[in-house]
Amino acid sequence: MVSGTATPEARSTAPALRFITCGSVDDGKSTLIGRLLYESRLVYDDHLESLGVDSQRFGTRGAEPDYALLVDGLAAEREQGITIDVAYRYFATSARNYVVADTPGHEQYTRNMVTGASNADVAVVLVDARKGVLVQTRRHSFLVSLLGIRHVVLVVNKMDLVDFSEPAFQAIVRSYRQFADTLGFRSVVAIPACAVRGDNVTRASDSMPWYHGPSMMEYLDALQLAPSDETAGFAMPVQWVNRPNADFRGYAGRIVAGWVRKGDAVKVLPSGRESIVDRIVVKDGDPEEAGAGESVTLTLRDALDVSRGDVLCRRDATIECAAQFEATVVWMHDEPLLQGREYLFRQASRTVLATVAPVKYRINVNTLEQQPAERLELNDIGVVELSLDQAVAFTPYASNRDLGGFILIDRLSGATVGAGLLHFALRRSQNIRWQAIDVDRHVRAAQKGQKGCVIWMTGLSGAGKSTIANLVDRGLVAAGRHSYVLDGDNVRHGLNKDLGFTAQDRVENIRRVAEVAALMADAGLVTIVSFISPFEAERRMARALVPPGTFIEVHVDTPLRVAEARDVKGLYAKARRGALTNFTGIDSPYEAPKAPEIHLDTTVLTAEGAAERIIGYLLEAGIIGSLDGRPEPGKAGPPPTVP
């Protein structure tokens, strides 16, 4: 048995309206939704009994029921009295069905709010009548506008705590509208409320006779959303290639735009190959057509190469393919977004590598001012340029959320670190094509009698990387091999002389060198890179640029005390005095390799012995072949003079 006023028989069978409740901490979002569930007869009697017990233990209303506890399901939420996760609840009125997402107000859980808003039609923004419009109110409103929500209900809650004052309500409405008028909402409706008592939530309030508008639910029941465009071009990202047997090959996914019918001409993006829809397969048979929101399996008349992440669309669709974009990013991680660092980019069902360069600006959520920035910190919102390692099919987010939205994922931890919206493809990406070259890496390797590779030497300053790199280079040249050293200090005199030593500059420093090293390896050179390269993420990025087996990570492992005792350049002394900041090992971290191809313990190895180990590895791996009786590495004497 359920409690409340509405009857289940009266509930609508119409498609659900999805809305999100958002705002700052303790504005009453969970209480509002709990009241809605109670009024909609979706609270069973045993739940009400447990609510009474929980209200005594965790509630904030004394002996009265604390309706927020109907929503705050996590134990941590109940104990702390906050919302952490996104709580989805379903209820109905006689007018329509609803799906509501209760999202956290705390700044550190902004990522959860973005998740809840990504599929909503309407945003209910709550404001505490005592506190007015706060920074988090503005941040959530700005995010709501970015995510394409065009209807806002401003609920000024806890009106009982300001004696149901109309002037207090009007002052908050003026403040909010002044900010929201720049965000492009189609409608902003303000409603004074007291969620805990139900005033103006589902029924009109006797305590505020000066308010003549609808209650929140009366407004939502009557709200007419813009109809979906049924003529929009069909698009479906492929989630799965379905091959149950040799006689069936289908492409499963959810249609994100338009309609598809048997016999329609379609194409596959980004390849551009074309075919005809042969069947539309669902659980109950083969319908003649299917539309946006439906999950189907399509078979094609032709045997095409279609993979997960490809997009099926109409032959005449205007969906673009590109690998470079301008995008808005909401950063959701404690570690900042750094220019030049690689992340996984996931859009619909496609995952590729992405590099952010540059960050164009950060947006001040209070003033909407564009502020210069080189990185994005937790909860920052900024506009960036993205470069992907493969082209993806897309539309601007404003046209389609599924094809224009994406998330960024940390490659090492797998954590979602950012969410974003694609604006447009950069024009330069449309003007650049890969030029095929007949002489490839294999031809160049055969010409030199060796395989091109990258020897990536990493370790603390003073570990001996440059000394060992020089000895390896001398040994290889004396043996008639082709090698080159990219040294950290030398490169900063030219290619990277514009970079400093901040975290983002260090990332860019390694990115540039990694690209150059990959080109040299492609030319058939044994490329010896001698850089501190303190971050695992950048070394992993450098490895990904060359074919498997041709990246040799060498950890020149020297304890900090030993490296500091050497201090050939006097850098450790400067760092200890505070005259040099962001110095690895002192006030900037060094992430040691977990599984390098070669580990050199310089407390037991001489520089000559370390060089011998490296060249020995090259011989064993078949990179350089026999040295043909040439001098041993480290014993080659001075390099030959070049006239």
Give the per-residue pLDDT at 295.
Answer: 92
Predicted local confidence at residue 471, as pLDDT: 96
- What distance in Å separates the CA atoms of residue 101 and residue 117, rounded to the nearest whole number? 8
- Helices vs strands, H then E, count in the chain: 17, 31
Active-site annotation holds for 533: yes
The whole-angstrom separation of Cα 641 and Cα 643 is 6
What letter does residue 199 receive in the DSSP assignment?
B
> 526-530 and 453-458: which strand pairing?
parallel
**What pLDDT was estimated at residue 392?**
93
Q: Specify the CATH number of the domain 2-222.
A: 3.40.50.300
pLDDT at 107: 56
**CATH code that applies to domain 235-314:** 2.40.30.10
Pairwise CA distance, residues 191 & 153, whole Å:
7
Report the 3 state secondary structure along 604-642.
CCCHHHHHHHHHHHHHHCCCCCCCCCCCCCCCCCCCCCC
Q: Give the model's pLDDT for residue 87.
A: 64
User: Residue 412 corresponds to which tokens in the numbers above?
Assistant: 């090492």
How far is residue 572 CA from its own chain's centroid?
37
CATH number among 3.10.20.30, 3.30.479.10, 3.40.50.300, 3.30.70.270, domain 441-620: 3.40.50.300
**Closest to 105 (Cα-Cα) out of 196, 34, 30, 189:** 30
Tokens of 48: 């009400």
* CB burial of residue 33 (10 Å; 0-12, 13-18, 19+): buried
**Catalytic residue selected from 429, 533, 588, 626:** 533
- 41, 64 in Cβ contact below 8 A? no
Which pLDDT value is given to residue 81?
40
What φ, ψ does residue 511 adopt, rounded to 5°?
-60, -45
Residues of the chain with pLDDT under 70: 1-15, 40-87, 103-112, 116, 227-232, 429-434, 626-643
Q: At what angle are helices 441-448 and 503-522 packed, to 10 degrees? A: 70
SS3 558: coil
Residues across the chain: 643
Domain positions in the chain are 2-222, 235-314, 320-426, 441-620
For residue 456, which of 336, 577, 551, 374 has the smallest C-alpha distance? 551
Same fold, 2-222 and 441-620: yes
Strands (E), 349-466: 350-363, 370-371, 375-376, 381-394, 405-409, 416-425, 453-458
Identify whether the C-beta of residue 501 lies closer than 8 Å to the C-beta of residue 530.
no
Task: Spell 138-153 as b/e; 16+ CB within 10 A means b.
Answer: bbbbbbbbbbbbbbbb
Instruction: Write out pLDDT tens, residues 246-271.
Output: 889 999 999 999 999 999 999 999 98
User: What does the alpha-carbon distance between residue 482 and residue 230 come to, in Å, rounded to a whole number?
Assistant: 63
* Identity of residue 503: A
First to last CA, the chain: 98
pLDDT value of position 59:
47
Which CATH superfamily is 320-426 part of? Translation factors (2.40.30.10)
Closest to 350 (Cα-Cα) out of 237, 426, 252, 253: 237
Determine the 3-state secondary structure of 252 from DSSP: strand
